[in-house]
Structure 1
C-alpha cells in the first residue's frame, strides 16, 4: 500500500459478490465470486475488456444494482440486505457516469449544486459550494454558462464537480473520460488525480485503458471476461504526486506491459 493511504481500515469491502441476470436457461452470470477491500484514500481501477461486468460491479457498490449473493459494505455498513438498499451505507458514495448527464436548462453552477438542492440545502450555501467546486475542477468563470456552451471536456469537469459537491468519502467513476480525445483525457486525468488527493476520497475507476489504470491507481484489479472474475491485483509503486512524464519512464512501461499480459492471459 502506498504511503499516502491514511488508514488500513476497510473503506469498501466486497465478499463473494455474484450477479446473475435472468433465470433458468436464460440466466447469465455477470459477476462471479468477487472479493476485494479498499482502504480510505486509496485509488483502485477495475480493468477488463468491454462487457466483462466492470460497470455492473460498480453499480452494486453504488447501490444501483443488487447482487444475487455476497456482501458489500461501505465504511462498515452493508449496502444490500437482499434486494433492499441501505440509505445509510450509500450516503457517503457518489458516482460519475460515462455521460455528463447535465440538465440543459440549468447553468453549470445549478447543475453542480443539484444534489445539495435535492437534500434541502439553502440556495446561498449550495451555490457557494458549487462555485468552490467549479474553481477546483477548472471551471472558474463558466458557472453561469449552460451545458450547450461547454466543450465535452468541460461538461465532464462539471459532472466531476457535481459528484464531489456532497463531500463524498467514496467516489465511483464509470469511464468518465472515455469519449474524449487523448489530450483532453490526459488533462482531466491529472485534474482527477489531484482533486481526489485533495479531497482524500476513496476512488474506484472503471476503465479498459491499461495506461490510464496504471497512471492513476494505487492498485489495479484485473477482471476476466464475463463472468467478471478477479484474476489479478497489481500494485503500482510510483510515488505521488505523479505527472505525465511518468508515462515515458521504463518502469512505467514495464508496469503497463505486465498489466497487459495479465489482462490478455485472462482472456485466453
Structure 2
C-alpha cells in the first residue's frame, strides 16, 4: 500500500523499498514495497512490533544496509546505486543507536567531537563546537568525565550530542531511550524535542512506545509485523511546543488509543 504522495520537496523519500535477507528457502523478507516521504523539519516515528523491520529501514536510509529493491533519496540524492552507497547523500544524515557506543578511554568532550576529528576539523574548533552542543543537552558540567562515570541517561545525552555535532539535516534515532527509566526518558524526550525544533532537523524515530511516538511526532507510521509494510500513517494534532501535561489530556489518550488500534489492525 502506498501512502503520502506529496508535491513539496522532500527531505527523505522512500520508494518501493524491499529488503530480503538470505536467499532460497531460508530467505527472510524484512521490508516489502515501502513508500514514505518526510518533509524538511518534520518529526516522524516508526511504530511496530519487535522484529518488524523498523531498524532495517532506518539503516537503509542511513546507508548502513543495502536494499534489495526500491530506493531512498535524502535531499534529492539517491542513497544507493545498486550496492554502492553515495557519500554525498548520507553526509547530511546522523544516526543515534540504542546503545551509547562511547569510547571509554575518551572524555565526554572528545567522544562528542569524534565525528569532527574524523572530518579533520582542527582541534580547537571541533572541541569548541562539541562543548556548545554538550551544553545544549545538559552536559556542561561533565565535559571531562569518562563515560564510565556517567549514568545511563547522561551517556545517552552524550550520544545525542555526538549525533548533533555535525549539524545534520536528517537525524535517525533507533530507540535511543528505550533502556532508561520512565522519568529519565521523559526528561530526554523533552530535550530531544526542543533540540530538534531549534535545529529544524528532520527526525525519524524508531520506538516501541505508543505514548512516546504520539508525544514526539508530527506523524506516526504504523508498520505491520515482518515483512514491514506501512499499514497506516496517523497525524498528531498537537500544537508545539509540547510539555508532559499533554499526556494527561483526553485528546492525547484518544490518539494513543487510535495508534494502539492501528497496531492491532495491522497485526
- TM above 0.5, yes or no, is yes
Q: Which residue of 2 aligns with 1:76?
A: 76
Kindly report which structure 2 residues correspond to 1:247-262, keeping only aligned pairs within 5 A, or say none. Answer: 247-262=247-262
Q: Which residue of 2 aligns with 1:203?
A: 203
Q: Which residue of 1 aligns with 2:106?
A: 106
| Deviation digits for residues 193-243 of structure 1 (CA, Å, limit 9, x no counterpart) | 000000100000000100000000000000000000000000001000000
Aligned counterparts of 1:27 and 1:105: Cα–Cα separation in 2: 41
Is 1:229 aligned to 2:236, yes or no?
no
> Once the 2 structures are TM-superposed, how far is the Cα of residue 8 of structure 1 from its aligned partner?
3.8
Q: Which residue of 2 aligns with 1:33?
A: 33
Kindly report which structure 2 residues correspond to 1:237-252, keeping only aligned pairs within 5 A, or say none. Answer: 237-252=237-252
Count of matched residue positions in the alignment of Structure 1 and Structure 2: 261
> Once the 2 structures are TM-superposed, how far is the Cα of residue 100 of structure 1 from its aligned partner?
0.2
Q: Which residue of 1 aligns with 2:215?
A: 215
> Once the 2 structures are TM-superposed, how far is the Cα of residue 71 of structure 1 from its aligned partner?
1.1
Considering only aligned residues, what root-mean-square deviation do their CA atoms show, in Å?
Answer: 0.8
Is 1:48 aligned to 2:48, yes or no?
yes
SS in 2 for 1:70: strand
Runs of 4+ in 1 over 3 A off after TM superposition: none
Aligned counterparts of 2:103 and 2:251: Cα–Cα separation in 1: 43
| Deviation digits for residues 222-266 of structure 1 (CA, Å, limit 9, x no counterpart) | 000000000000000100000000000000000000000000111
Is 1:122 aligned to 2:122, yes or no?
yes
Q: Do 1:14 and 1:37's aligned partners in 2 also have CA atoms closer than 8 Å? A: yes
Q: Do 1:93 and 1:172's aligned partners in 2 also have CA atoms closer than 8 Å? A: yes
Is 1:263 aligned to 2:266, yes or no?
no
Q: Do 1:8 and 1:40's aligned partners in 2 also have CA atoms closer than 8 Å? A: no
Q: Do 1:19 and 1:30's aligned partners in 2 also have CA atoms closer than 8 Å? A: yes
Unpaired runs of 5+ residues, structure 2, are 1-6
| Deviation digits for residues 75-102 of structure 1 (CA, Å, limit 9, x no counterpart) | 0000001111000000000000000000
| Deviation digits for residues 15-60 of structure 1 (CA, Å, limit 9, x no counterpart) | 0000000011111100001000000000000000011000000000
Unpaired runs of 5+ residues, structure 1, are 1-6
Aligned counterparts of 1:8 and 1:202: Cα–Cα separation in 2: 15
Aligned counterparts of 1:71 and 1:101: Cα–Cα separation in 2: 29
| Deviation digits for residues 100-147 of structure 1 (CA, Å, limit 9, x no counterpart) | 000000000000000000000000000000100000000111000000
| Deviation digits for residues 170-192 of structure 1 (CA, Å, limit 9, x no counterpart) | 00000000000000000000000
Aligned counterparts of 1:238 and 1:56: Cα–Cα separation in 2: 29
Is 1:89 aligned to 2:70, yes or no?
no
| TM-score after normalising by structure 1 | 0.97
